[in-house]
Amino acid sequence: MASNNPLNVYSGPDALKKFFDPDCQPPIPLVEIPASLNPYHGDGVRIYAKMMSMHPANNVKILPAMNMLASGVQPEKTKTVVEYSSGSTVISLAMASRIYHGIQDVRAFLSNKTTASKLRLMQFFGLDITLFGGPSQPEPLDERGGIQQARSLAQQDEQYLNANQYENNGNWQAHMRWTGPQILKQLPDINVVCAGLGTSGTMTGIGTYFKTAKPSVVRIGVCTAAGDRVPGPRSYALLRPVEFPWRDAVDTIEEVGSIDSFSLSLQLCREGLVCGPSSGFNLKGLLNYLEKQKAAGTLSDISGPDGLIKCAFVCCDLPYQYIDEYFGKLGEAAFHPIHNQNLTTVDLYRYDEAWELDPARAASEFFDGMTPKQGTVLLDLRKPEDFASDHVPHSYNLPLPSLSATTSSPFFEPAVLESQWKELEDMFAKEKVDSYGLVGKNVCVTCYDGDTARVATSVLRAKGITASSVEGGFAGLASQLFIDDAT
């Protein structure tokens, strides 16, 4: 491996190229998971996460993308890169195309069953998206599927490059070139290595490397349990058409379901190893293998001279684009409840400190002496009897049904905020605001203590009315205007 950059600083015209190049970086971290997530810690097992998502692209697919483009791009001819991909590979191709080859036009062919959040993620990274019906993981040579259509497009026009992650040996060879050597350099006494099988590039490359570099290492490939789905990996049946030499790159295969994958990913995240469901999937595959060895009494057979069994699994993704799926798979019981969740549907408009005036500023801004300034409207939200007893001259009473002198502040009592906001939203509906004559006016809102008026100001501002509230409510404003009980 080339010497890397110990200070992790990248500068000059090739800064981004070096930033993405594993040969110019410190190795991607290899981190031992806590004993709380390792049920075999007491048996001498030590489990390490290879945090591939900590590459600058946050994505394990960046290495195959770089490797495939390096051999595929024809500098004077290639203008467009096209790939059938559910997200990670084609996003990585987009970044690597721009950084290394100056190609801006990258097109994603993918299933119409892709989630809206993934589609937006690809739009975010500047991809041109075309959707295809049928199976989400079509057969590579099926003329009806997007994989074959991306290939055909490149065959018909040399300006197009189809990286074709499903058949391009540059995919798995990237992990033979970079990932496997890094793991062995970081953990020379490794005994077990584990990765998922999707396009199978990661495990094929790592497993092929260790077959020669350290044949004693047990190589575990992980497949999705039949009838289940985890983002990225495939079931054993769907691996049949994959042409990479993955069968020679693994010693054993474990099957894992989605619930375990999402659950372990969640636990890893909460312990500080931020990773997605495919990472939890890989860890579960490793744990399944270790459990079988322990049950068979053969766990010690794979230990090193020090009696320890050192294992590495690939953390290949991030959780953020799958958040809704975590809740769907694991249920509400896996998460703390949201207190005051009823507030998610009310109090929806912004606040600004500039809209809440101290009494002295309010008196100065809205009054000349005791007379309201031209274009000013004074709204008092208190009960009619309290308004009748004492009020600012020339103000208007718009009593709020839920408000009285003894009502709690809406900011201390969520139920009060909910009811008052709904009443204010109705009170200041557009047609009513027009009938109040507030449009184009400078509106001052008061109440008992100023807090309900602050909510009212937020609602009015959202309706396009220039409104402000007074700290301390009516009493605060009255104290500045020298109003007494006889007013």
Domain residue spans in the chain?
Answer: 15-59+169-334, 62-162, 345-481
Please provide residue 391's backbone torsions phi and psi, each rounded to the nearest 5 degrees: -155, 165
DSSP lists the bridge partners of residue 162 as 82
**Confidence band for 486, pLDDT divided at 50, 70 and 90:** very low
**In which band, very low, low, confident or very high, does the pLDDT at 299 lie, cut at 50, 70 and 90?**
very high
Residue 38: is its pLDDT beyond 50? yes
Contact 66, 100 (CB under 8 A): yes
Query: Buried b / exposed e across 384-408, counting CB within 10 Å, b at 16+?
Result: eebbeebbbeebeebbbebbeeebe
Domain 15-59+169-334, CATH number (from 1.10.10.10, 3.90.220.20, 3.40.50.1100, 3.40.50.620): 3.40.50.1100
Specify the range with the lowest mean pLDDT, choosing from 417-421, 456-460, 477-481.
477-481
What are the residues whose beta carbons fall under 8 Å from the beta carbon of 145, sequence distance 6 or more? Answer: 84, 132, 134, 135, 138, 139
| 8 A C-beta contact, residue 318 and residue 280 | no
CA–CA gap between residue 217 and residue 323 (Å, rounded): 35
Identify the pLDDT of residue 485: 42
| Top-tier CATH class for 62-162 | alpha beta
337 Cβ contact list (under 8 Å, min separation 6): none
Whether 15-59+169-334 and 62-162 share one fold: the answer is yes
Mean pLDDT of the chain: 93
Is 140 in a helix, a strand, or coil?
A: coil
Percentage, residues of the chain above pLDDT 90: 83
Q: Which pLDDT tens digit goes with each residue over 434-462?
A: 888 899 999 999 999 999 999 999 999 99
Residues 392-421: what's their mean pLDDT?
Answer: 95
pTM confidence score: 0.88
Which pLDDT value is given to residue 325? Answer: 93
Tell me what the mean pLDDT of segment 148-154 comes to: 91
Q: By the 8 A CB rule, do 473 and 379 touch? A: no
Report, as an integer, the average pLDDT of 240-245. 88
- Whether 442 and 379 have beta carbons less than 8 Å apart is answered as no
Q: What percent of the chain has pLDDT over 70?
A: 98
User: Comparing 292 with 5, which gets the higher pLDDT?
Assistant: 292
The enclosing H or E element of 66 equals: helix 62-72
Confidence class of residue 1 from pLDDT cuts 50, 70 and 90? very low
Largest CA distance in the chain: 98
Q: What is the pLDDT of residue 2?
A: 47
- Check whether domain 345-481 has CATH 3.30.360.10, yes or no: no
CB 308 within 8 A of CB 43: no
